[in-house]
Amino acid sequence: MLFSEYLNTPDLDFASGVTLLIDKPLTWTSFNAVNKIKHSIKNHPSFVKDGVKLKARVGHAGTLDPLATGLLIICTGKMTKQIESYMGMEKEYTGTFMLGATTPCFDLEKEVDQTFPTEHITEEMILEAAKKFTGLQQQTPPVFSAIKVGGKRSYDMARAGQEVELKSREIDIRSFVIEKINMPEISFRIVCSKGTYIRSIARDFGLELNSGAHLTSLRRERIGEFDVKDSLSLL
């Protein structure tokens, strides 16, 4: 269903709080989606109480990169208090890695900066590598990320050419399934904990195979019990 059609649902109360499941479009930032919804609902009757217009509070529960699509949870009004609990939920993604090349940001936002051989990589090596990435482990986030360093966003510092050093963090990859191998492209499905960067998995996966890799597509299929199949479209 289109979000514009959903707005016609009777008795919606965005001020008291609504949890929206949105299918984020490709190239949109998560803030683009939030702003689209905020603009669409700011004049909704539910934001008028006793003749006073209330501020339309809207926030999202976990960023999706511009080149990723899929489930984005957006909360309005009093439901914004639930954002932290949603962010802590398990995530499920599908996507593709391209072996044999890297980019500075580990995805297609920037051009390839290095190439590596892939002739030595076998299907067995790929499947074994996926097993090694399953479970609790330390992961270093990409410098092109929204993590704050000294009050500044890491991606702002990286784009300005500044050196950025991010600390590793513990993550849990609960399932890592290779769904298709069409060298040099690999299709995968990953179930993981909060704080996992799939772009970093792409980087580390390439290293594990004595090559390089970057993320070429990503879709968030699920957050906890919320599924992208039940989401609203903004386009």
The whole-angstrom separation of Cα 232 and Cα 23 is 6
Of 207, 215, 217, the residue nearest 121 (C-alpha): 207
Ranges of beta strands (E only) in 55-90 are: 58-60, 68-76
Task: Please identify every residue annotated as catalytic.
Answer: 65
Per this entry, what is the length of the chain? 235
Among 184, 204, 217, smallest CA distance to 93 is for 217
Which tokens sit at 231?
């989401």
Q: If you search the block for the tokens 């929204």, which residue do you land on?
A: 146
Element (H, E) at 158: helix 154-159
Separation CA 139–CA 197 (nearest Å): 8
DSSP string of 116-151? ---TT--HHHHHHHHHHTSEEEEEPPPSSSS-EETT
By three-state DSSP, how is residue 218 classified? strand
Question: Which pairing describes strands 19-24 and 232-233: parallel, antiparallel, or unpaired?
Answer: parallel
User: What single string gives the DSSP state of each residue in 176-196?
Assistant: EEEEEEETTEEEEEEEE-TT-
C-alpha to C-alpha distance for 59 and 35, rounded to whole angstroms: 9
